[in-house]
């Protein structure tokens, strides 16, 4: 037992012990820990991380350990990334491996013998011609040819290359297959990472690479392991797909960290932050990159703007501050540091801070560094939200963290929230080499590209379908209860509000073997937040069943049940008598057939009181009008006398009250807006207005012409002096002809939506027809249900 173990053992992992230990370690924080130290760390890792004051020393010691090992060369890193068995095989067989890592500015080419680098070069892109695979391949071929000429006995055993925008797959090592070559030839995005496979293809064609040696692709850019929730956005057509991050380096760092902590990578949770020409942040959990902040969703990079707030972007686009092309440039090519500082070279940028920057420029540089650091910290916060209480280990990597200034600023941002391990540069080449060893010695453990591609596609599709699941087919807006209902949608919503938590009424569809009625019944319970009613489908069993089948109505015996009968009206009356039905709805039968049948019931049961009439009220939502208008009577009472008209008006006022219309304005219509003895309807309209003049719950005026009642400009133009100036709420029609003509004219010619009911005392009856839109059908039921609730509550 070492002294350190002894210490822990003796003090039983007590907090005080660890704190003391931390203090001890902090005094020699830059010394690399020895292997025994590492073993102890590994065993006590979660405890280390749990104590805020221990996190920094823990991170510092790990940073020192990793740095010390990397300083000895790539060998040990490759060995760690490949694992013990593959490293042993590599050392035993010493295969010659070509590693190609295509970067933005050139290609890293590495020749590896076993675990040792024979030679390595960064072949710069010449600036005088566009980047492509052909000339990159030529320069690699030249370099390779020189080695082969020098060592004719050399034979490549495997090739490792960076994978670009393949079909999205999970992370891991893949053997290049025909499918993969084909996918790469049709990559959806042009990117330097795509070029490695194309280079290999050309090297094969030229004979420099044998056709039958394995070509390994590890952690391509187009990996995608996001969990389902991470894919979601607030805008259904745009789902996040997880591709386009520095998976090779992220995963390499995570695996390296796991190795140092002697943990299975699948058991370790970490966050890796890659800061370079591009930026991305990845959460590793359960061996997968489950959460990700990529270049577009987070931190600005050398030439990308990073996440932008979409609202201001849209406003600026609308205002013309910049156009779509400029935005595209900023997001993909010349945003970020390039647009802010005129360089995409962070080193130059930060170096300029120390030499030559004015105070104003220095301030901007500092602000930029602050911004990047803060965004990086915010990204980590976003990725680690809701995780275990133990904070994950953070790895900060990428070329940018080579800068001490930037590094210290960044570490300051994290404070003691996480243990932070710094791994400047990248381990991409080493990770590719480890992948090649896997492909060479354990090809069976390589992943199957088509299979993984299908699996990712399936998962994406499943999430997309889930996210596209319809919940409310019609937008449902919040309204304050009791507010005046000004549109049909509001009417429907207010009905939903009315039924919330209340007993659902039972609606009998009289003659239910009718398309429109069946559809209306379906809409009533499928289009909103709550079900509106239970439906009894009163008609011939076979006919109703057949319709229910055709229109996907779920006859479950609860929400929808069939009442098998050959006489729907008689059956409906029986159901009313038995109290099994609250509301009637017209099906295939004519309105008068139903009314004739139920009239005696209404009288007998006292539901239609003396003086009350059965009348039709249609609520109309005209697109050009800011409020609803009620028309009565367009369907039931053909030529009512004055007394009957007042009773009809009372019914309309009941409906208006249900719509919370304050002091409804009632226009008693005639052909003209002044009394003319030769126009009977004008005389009658005046008498009605006079008889209703004492009412304070409504304002009744007449005679009014339709245009004066409905159009303020016309009212003004005609010099109408009344209080209704084109803003009538109720139009009391002179007769059924006028009522029906106006109703049909509005619905067919002005795009109006209607809700039609017949008020039978305290029982509404719903009318729908095939010509009604789905919205109208739903609105009619909604209005009846709302009214029924209110009238039921009003009962003593």
Among 250, 274, 284, 522, contact with another protein (rule: CB under 8 A) = 522
| Lookup: tokens for 568 | 């729907």
- Cβ atoms 653, 755 nearer than 8 A: no
Q: Which is nearer to another protein, 220 or 568 (CB)?
A: 568
Q: Does 515 bind another protein (CB under 8 A)?
A: yes
Q: Does 777 bind another protein (CB under 8 A)?
A: yes
Q: Does 771 bind another protein (CB under 8 A)?
A: yes
Q: Does 554 bind another protein (CB under 8 A)?
A: yes
Among 523, 535, 743, 788, contact with another protein (rule: CB under 8 A) = 523
| Lookup: tokens for 250 | 């992220």
Q: How many CB atoms lie within 10 A of CB 216?
A: 26
Q: Which is nearer to another protein, 551 or 639 (CB)?
A: 551
The β-bridge partners of 422 are: 396
Q: Which distant-in-sequence residues (6+ apart) come within 8 Å of 426 by Cβ?
A: 246, 248, 249, 252, 274, 276, 397, 398, 399
Q: Does 790 bind another protein (CB under 8 A)?
A: no
β-bridge pairing 699-704 and 583-586: unpaired
State the minimum distance, in angstroms, from the CB of residue 538 to another protein.
12
Among 546, 600, 674, 750, contact with another protein (rule: CB under 8 A) = 546
State the minimum distance, in angstroms, from the CB of residue 556 to another protein.
4
Q: How many CB atoms lie within 10 A of CB 721?
A: 8
Q: Does 770 bind another protein (CB under 8 A)?
A: yes
Buried b (16+ CB within 10 A) or exposed e, 459-483: bbeebeeeeeeeeeeeeeeeeeeee
Q: Does 519 bind another protein (CB under 8 A)?
A: yes
Q: Annotate each residue in 473-492 with x if it binds another protein (CB under 8 A) or - if it does not, as one string.
A: x-------------------
Residue span binding another protein (CB under 8 A) among the ranges 168-176, 184-192, 237-245, 544-552 = 544-552
Q: Does 541 bind another protein (CB under 8 A)?
A: yes
Among 552, 592, 642, 680, contact with another protein (rule: CB under 8 A) = 552
DSSP string, 712-756: HHHHHHTT--SS-SS--SEEE-SSHHHHHHHHHHHHHHS--EEEE
Q: Does 370 bind another protein (CB under 8 A)?
A: no
State the minimum distance, in angstroms, from the CB of residue 626 to another protein.
24
Peptide bond into 703 cis (omega under 30): yes
Residue span binding another protein (CB under 8 A) among the ranges 95-103, 151-159, 193-201, 542-550 = 542-550
Q: Does 6 bind another protein (CB under 8 A)?
A: no
The β-bridge partners of 289 are: 284
Q: Does 548 bind another protein (CB under 8 A)?
A: yes
| Lookup: tokens for 496 | 């939903």
As a whole number of Å, the end-to-end CA separation of the chain is 88
Q: Does 623 bind another protein (CB under 8 A)?
A: no
Q: Does 557 bind another protein (CB under 8 A)?
A: yes
Please tell me the number of Cα atoms within 13 Å of 96 on its side-chain side. Answer: 14
Q: Does 551 bind another protein (CB under 8 A)?
A: yes
State the minimum distance, in angstroms, from the CB of residue 66 to another protein.
53
Q: Does 549 bind another protein (CB under 8 A)?
A: yes
| Lookup: tokens for 272 | 């890796």
C-alpha distances in Å from residue 246, one per residue of 105, 253, 267, 554, 625 = 16, 11, 21, 51, 56
Q: Which is nearer to another protein, 544 or 715 (CB)?
A: 544
State the minimum distance, in angstroms, from the CB of residue 545 to another protein.
4
Residue span binding another protein (CB under 8 A) among the ranges 70-78, 178-186, 275-283, 548-556 = 548-556
- Cβ atoms 290, 227 nearer than 8 A: yes
Q: Does 550 bind another protein (CB under 8 A)?
A: yes
Q: Which distant-in-sequence residues (6+ apart) come within 8 Å of 197 by Cβ?
A: 161, 163, 164, 176, 180, 181, 184, 215, 217
Among 42, 94, 545, 792, contact with another protein (rule: CB under 8 A) = 545
Q: Which residues bind another protein (CB under 8 A)?
A: 473, 515-516, 519, 522-523, 541-542, 545-546, 548-557, 562, 564-566, 770-774, 776-777
């Amino acid at each position: 037992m070492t002294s350190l173990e002894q210490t822990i053992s003796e003090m039983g992992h007590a907090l005080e012990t660890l704190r003391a230990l931390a203090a001890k370690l902090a005094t020699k924080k830059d010394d690399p820990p020895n292997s025994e130290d590492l073993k102890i760390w590994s065993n006590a890792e979660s405890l280390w991380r749990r104590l805020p004051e221990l996190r920094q020393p823990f991170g510092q010691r790990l940073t020192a350990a990793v740095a010390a090992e990397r300083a000895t060369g790539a060998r040990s890193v490759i060995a760690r990334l490949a694992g013990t068995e593959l490293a042993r095989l590599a050392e035993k067989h010493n295969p010659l491996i070509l590693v190609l890592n295509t970067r933005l500015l050139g290609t890293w080419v590495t020749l590896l013998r076993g675990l040792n680098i024979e030679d390595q070069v960064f072949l710069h892109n010449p600036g005088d011609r566009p980047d492509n695979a052909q000339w990159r391949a030529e320069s690699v071929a030249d370099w390779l040819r020189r080695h082969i000429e020098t060592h004719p006995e050399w034979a490549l055993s495997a090739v490792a290359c960076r994978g670009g925008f393949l079909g999205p797959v999970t992370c891991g090592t893949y053997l290049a297959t025909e499918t993969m070559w084909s996918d790469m030839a049709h990559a959806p995005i042009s990117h330097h990472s795509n070029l490695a496979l194309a280079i290999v293809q050309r090297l094969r064609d030229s004979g420099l690479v044998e056709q039958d040696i394995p070509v390994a692709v590890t952690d391509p850019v187009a990996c995608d392991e996001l969990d389902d929730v991470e894919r979601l956005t607030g805008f259904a057509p745009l789902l996040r797909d997880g591709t386009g991050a520095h998976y090779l380096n992220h995963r390499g760092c995570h695996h390296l960290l796991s190795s140092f902590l002697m943990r299975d990578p699948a058991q370790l949770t970490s966050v890796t932050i890659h800061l370079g020409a591009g930026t991305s942040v990845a959460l590793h959990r359960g061996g997968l990159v489950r959460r990700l902040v990529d270049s577009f969703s987070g931190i600005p990079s050398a030439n990308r703007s990073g996440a932008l707030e979409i609202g201001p972007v849209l406003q600026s686009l609308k205002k013309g501050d910049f156009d779509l092309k400029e935005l595209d440039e900023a997001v993909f090519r010349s945003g970020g540091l390039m647009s802010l500082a005129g360089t995409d070279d962070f080193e130059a940028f930060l170096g300029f801070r120390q030499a030559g920057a004015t105070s104003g420029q220095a301030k901007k540089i500092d602000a930029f560094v602050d911004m990047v650091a803060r965004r990086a910290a915010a990204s980590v916060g976003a990725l680690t939200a809701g995780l275990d209480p133990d904070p994950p280990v953070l790895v900060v990597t990428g070329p940018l963290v080579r800068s001490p200034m930037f590094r210290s600023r960044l570490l300051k941002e994290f404070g003691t929230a996480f243990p932070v391990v710094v791994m400047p540069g990248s381990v991409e080449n080493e990770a590719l080499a480890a992948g090649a060893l896997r492909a060479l010695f354990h090809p069976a453990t390589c992943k199957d590209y088509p299979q993984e591609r299908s699996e990712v596609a399936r998962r994406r599709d499943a999430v997309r379908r889930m996210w596209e699941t319809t919940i409310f087919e019609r937008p449902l807006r919040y309204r304050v209860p009791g507010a005046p209902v000004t549109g049909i949608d509001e009417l429907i919503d207010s009905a939903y509000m009315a039924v919330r938590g209340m007993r659902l009424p039972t609606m009998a569809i009289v003659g239910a073997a009718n398309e429109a009625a069946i559809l209306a019944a379906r809409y009533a319970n499928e289009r909103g937040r709550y079900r509106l009613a239970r439906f009894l489908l009163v008609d011939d069993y076979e006919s109703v069943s057949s319709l229910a089948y055709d229109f996907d109505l779920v006859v479950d015996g609860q929400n929808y049940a069939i009442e098998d009968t050959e006489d729907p009206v008689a059956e409906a009356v029986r159901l009313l008598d038995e109290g099994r039905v609250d509301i009637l709805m017209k099906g295939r039968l004519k309105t008068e057939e139903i009314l004739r049948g139920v009239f005696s019931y209404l009288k007998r049961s006292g539901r239609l009181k003396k003086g009350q009439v059965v009348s039709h009220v249609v609520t109309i939502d005209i697109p050009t009008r800011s409020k609803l208008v009620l028309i009565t009577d367009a369907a039931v009472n053909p030529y009512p006398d004055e007394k009957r008209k007042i009773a009809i008006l009372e019914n309309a006022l009941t409906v208006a009250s249900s719509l919370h219309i304050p002091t409804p304005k009632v226009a008693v219509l005639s052909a003209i807006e002044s009394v003319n003895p030769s126009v009977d309807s004008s005389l009658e309209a005046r008498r009605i207005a006079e008889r209703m003049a004492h009412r304070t719950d409504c304002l009744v005026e007449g005679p009014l012409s339709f245009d004066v009642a409905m159009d303020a400009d016309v009212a003004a133009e005609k010099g109408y002096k009344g209080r209704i100036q084109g803003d009538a709420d109720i139009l009391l029609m002179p007769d059924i002809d006028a009522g029906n003509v106006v109703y049909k004219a509005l619905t067919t010619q002005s795009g109006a939506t209607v809700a039609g009911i017949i008020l039978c005392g305290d029982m509404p009856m719903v009318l729908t027809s095939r010509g009604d839109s789905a919205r109208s059908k739903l609105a009619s039921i909604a209005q009846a249900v709302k009214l029924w609730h209110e009238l039921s509550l009003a009962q003593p």
